[in-house]
């Protein structure tokens, strides 16, 4: 039961050993299942967790984790997108099949198309959103990533995967994040939940001091937000499907404009 949680924390721990101003992530000592199906356990380092404190430090620490190289100790010796195991985001299954070794922008586009938006749409069963995605957005998705080739080719970054205010705190005077839905992906995908994470100017000043925003960041933002809106709809129902539709319609308009400008 705790396999995905344990491997996610272990990967975040390894990618946060980047000096004093890194994230404080608990070390996992043991995890497993009790015999005869009587439950599961995870044993980890105790942290004296406190509330969120210094957002500037949080921004820098998140950037350091995103910049950490994909390595065997972090669970990604082939520098691919995905994760060693499938996990969950909330209660929703999150598939994480590996892309090919030394993956770049094209492999990321395919991964996010099929295993993030496509997966959530299959669960949602909303014909309007599915038709919009399959007919008008997915075939042209590459147009949103035209600025990310060559020297700016996307490289796998370790993502927390479900970063909202309830998963952010501090420990020992350092920023800490927990309850992850970890995988290796495009660092911009981390911010698909920032609509309920309260990331203000101080945070972004810290983050962009190490990872500046790329030219197409705002064009891609509705794509990454849509994943989490769809997931919230699949978890809770209600008006989240309207937000997801809005993001997809926004993406279609952006793609129409890009095609017209060619």
Q: Which of 55, 162, 219, 225 is catalytic?
A: 162
CA distance 114 to 17: 32
E strands along the chain, which residues? 28-33, 40-44, 49-50, 87-89, 92-94, 157-159, 168-171, 174-177, 183-185
> Which alpha helices (H) appear in 98-216, and where do they start and end?
105-112, 118-124, 127-132, 201-208
DSSP 213: P
**Two tokens, residue 203:** 């945070």
Q: What residue has token string 């996010």?
A: 112
- Residue 30 bridge partners (DSSP): 43
Q: Does the annotation mark 162 as catalytic? A: yes
Active-site amino acid positions: 162
């Amino acid at each position: 039961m705790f396999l995905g949680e344990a491997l996610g924390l272990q990967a975040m721990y390894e990618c946060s050993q980047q000096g004093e101003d890194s994230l404080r992530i608990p070390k996992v000592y043991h995890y497993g299942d009790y015999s005869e199906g009587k439950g599961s356990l995870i044993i980890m380092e105790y942290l004296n967790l406190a509330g969120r404190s210094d957002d500037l430090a949080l921004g820098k620490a998140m950037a350091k984790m995103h910049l950490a190289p994909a390595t065997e100790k972090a669970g990604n010796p082939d520098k691919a997108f995905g994760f060693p195991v499938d996990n969950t985001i909330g209660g929703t299954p999150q598939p994480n099949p590996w892309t090919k070794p030394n993956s770049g922008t094209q492999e990321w586009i395919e991964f996010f198309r099929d295993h993030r938006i496509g997966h959530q749409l299959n669960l949602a069963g909303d014909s309007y959103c599915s038709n919009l995605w399959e007919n008008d957005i997915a075939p042209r998705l590459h147009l949103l990533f035209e600025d990310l080739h060559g020297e700016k080719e996307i490289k796998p970054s370790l993502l927390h995967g479900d970063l909202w205010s309830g998963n952010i705190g501090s420990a020992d005077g350092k920023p800490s994040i927990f309850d992850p839905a970890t995988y290796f992906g495009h660092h911009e995908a981390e911010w698909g939940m920032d609509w309920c994470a309260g990331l203000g100017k101080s945070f972004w000043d810290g983050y962009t001091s190490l990872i500046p925003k790329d030219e197409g960041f705002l064009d891609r933002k509705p794509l990454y937000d849509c994943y989490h809106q769809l997931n919230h709809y699949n978890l809770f129902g209600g008006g989240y499907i309207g937000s997801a539709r809005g993001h997809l319609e926004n993406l279609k308009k952006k793609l129409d404009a890009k095609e017209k400008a060619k």
